[in-house]
Amino acid sequence: MNGNEIDALTLSRCSPTIPSTMSTFPTNDLYISDPSIAFLVISSLLYFVIGFVALIGNIFVIVKVYQERRLHKPTYYLIASLAVADLLTGTVALPSGAYGRVVQNVRTCSGETHLWFFMMAFYLHCVSVMHLIAIAIDRYICITRPLKYISVVTPKRIAGTIAFNWVMSCSFGLVPLYSRNDQTISHCSAIAYNIIMFYTSAILPPLCLLVLSLIYWIIFRVARRQVMRIAVIERAAHGGRKPIQIHTPQMKATKTTLLVLCVFAVCWLPISIKFLLEIHLKTTPSTMLYLRTAFEIIAYSNAALNPFVFVFRDRNFRGVLKHHRPKHILVSL
């Protein structure tokens, strides 16, 4: 047996095997140990801007809900808790995910440790979805059962709901533990993941958004019917001279929360597409790196956009800005 045959035999014995429940994404002999300077500069700048805006904006929302009496309501408690999740996304999940995505080394390209860099993103993503569901249910009760709202949606129950959301979301945050394997390969695009867990991560978020969309559709249908009925009665009482108004404060608040849901969908649905591309798309490691980074930057930007939605759409937050000078707001932060 010559030297080449011995080397080949040794290599075949030492090469790790991939379990049947794992799938290796398209491989290439290229090892991305040093991405282009332009990619590093642009991605780092975007990560920094998103993290900074998420930090300032969500601290503002949290502080104002705590300080302002007019914001001491169940819906705003849920919004403040959602802002905490967005704050942690911008300050913890984003830096960790950016390092795990942009920096290419043995640790970040190891099947055993790679997804650990994204564990907080998985967890906080689930926290946000749970809060969006809670806010949708809150709006549903407020619109469809306005007389029972105060007795049903109490601060104690809201506190329990918030605690439940944060604790139960841990189950989704543990997805990386079930998706890992012990391989270290030539480049990050060839890491083997659990197919079942990846399909779960790709399909569950769109299903949750579909359910939320259905809830809001029911809310607006019921609300419009109720408001039109009341408006007709009021118009008859005024001799038919009073115009019908359907833009009540509760409807405006519901539209604001619906806009938050739409922003969340636009930012996070590309992540579901990313999971499917990672499984099925055959491309070079560099292209996969750029696609993953672009989709993840869009997702992280959701944490920076929500405060703008609340400030520019919610009259109570706008009232806070009108009655406080920018300098006083910065001091309170």
Residue 251, in any domain of the structure: yes
Distance (Å, whole) CA 40 – CA 177: 28
Asked if residues 75 and 137 have their Cβ atoms less than 8 Å apart, the reply is no
CATH of the domain at 121: 1.20.1070.10
More confident residue, 305 or 19: 305
CB distance 60 to 321 below 8 Å: no
pLDDT at position 14 is: 42
Task: Note whether residue 277 is domain-resident.
Answer: yes
Is 59 within a domain? Answer: yes
Which class for 148: exposed (0-12), middle (13-18), buried (19 or more C-beta within 10 A)? exposed
Which residues constitute the domain of residue 47? Answer: 37-332
Distance of CA 204 to the CA centre of its chain: 13
Residue 9 lies in a domain: no
In a domain, 22, yes or no: no
**Burial class of residue 235, CB neighbours in 10 A (0-12, 13-18, 19+):** middle
Q: Which residue would you say has higher pLDDT here, 5 or 58?
A: 58
Which residue did the predictor score with more confidence, 37 or 158? 158
Asked whether residue 97 carries a pLDDT value surpassing 60, the answer given is: yes
Alpha-carbon separation of residue 264 from 144, 207, 208, 212, 323 (angstroms): 25, 14, 12, 11, 29
Residues 6+ apart with CB under 8 A from 101: 108, 117, 289, 292, 293, 296
Half-sphere exposure of 188 (CA within 13 A, CB side): 25
pLDDT at position 51:
95
Mean pLDDT of the chain: 76
Note the pLDDT tens digit of each residue in 190-244. Answer: 454 556 666 666 787 888 888 888 988 888 888 778 777 776 776 666 665 555 5
Residue 204 is assigned to a structural domain of this protein? yes
Structure-token match 């801007």, residue found: 49
**17: in domain:** no
The pTM of the full predicted model, rounded to 2 decimals, is 0.78
Q: Please determine, for residue 52, whether its predicted confidence score (pLDDT) is greater than 90.
A: yes
Rg from Cα positions in the chain: 25
Q: Please report which confidence band the pLDDT of residue 289 belongs to, taking 50, 70 and 90 as the band edges.
A: confident
Q: What local confidence, expressed as pLDDT, does residue 153 receive?
A: 92
Q: Is residue 26 part of a domain?
A: no
Asked if pLDDT for residue 300 goes beyond 90, the answer is yes
**What total number of domains does the chain contain?**
1
